[in-house]
Amino acid sequence: MHEDPGKLITNINGKIQWVAYDGIIIQEYTIESGQGAWYTISMNGAYTWVINDGTLKGTATMERTGNQLLARIILADETEPKIFEFTLTGVQQHEP
C-alpha cells in the first residue's frame, strides 16, 4: 500500500485518477458507465462507476452516510478481487 494515500479525481475526461499529493499518478481508471443519482455531495447518497484499469474491470463507488464520505474501488481478479478503500477528508467540486 502507498504511504501517501493522495487523492481521487473523478470524471477527468472519462477517467478516475488516484494521484499522490506530489502529483504523481498512482493509478488511472477508465470510466465505462455510471449508475445512481447523487446531486448534492453534502447529503447522503452514492454513485457507482463501472471502470477498468486497462487489464481488470471493476467498480468505483463514492458514498456519504452522515459525516462519513467513503470511496471504494473493487477490481475483479482471477484469484481474488483487489479492494481499495478510502476515507475522504475533503471534497473539491469544479464546474465544467
Domain ranges of the chain: 7-87
pLDDT band at 91 (very low <50, low <70, confident <90, very high): low
Handedness of CA 4, 7, 45, 83 (dihedral sign): negative
74 phi, psi to nearest 5 deg: -125, 120
Q: Which pLDDT score is estimated for 2?
A: 47
Which of the two residues, 31 and 42, has the higher pLDDT score?
Answer: 31
Find out whether 59 and 50 touch, Cβ atoms under 8 Å.
yes
Handedness of CA 5, 7, 10, 16 (dihedral sign): negative
Mean pLDDT of 23-50: 90
Mean pLDDT of 59-74: 92
Q: Are strands 15-19 and 68-75 parallel, antiparallel or unpaired?
A: unpaired
Handedness of CA 39, 40, 45, 50 (dihedral sign): positive
Residue 41 has pLDDT above 90, yes or no: no
Q: What is the pTM of this model?
A: 0.81
Find out whether 33 and 49 touch, Cβ atoms under 8 Å.
yes
pLDDT band at 1 (very low <50, low <70, confident <90, very high): very low
- pLDDT above 90 covers what percent of the chain? 39
Q: Which pLDDT score is estimated for 96?
A: 53
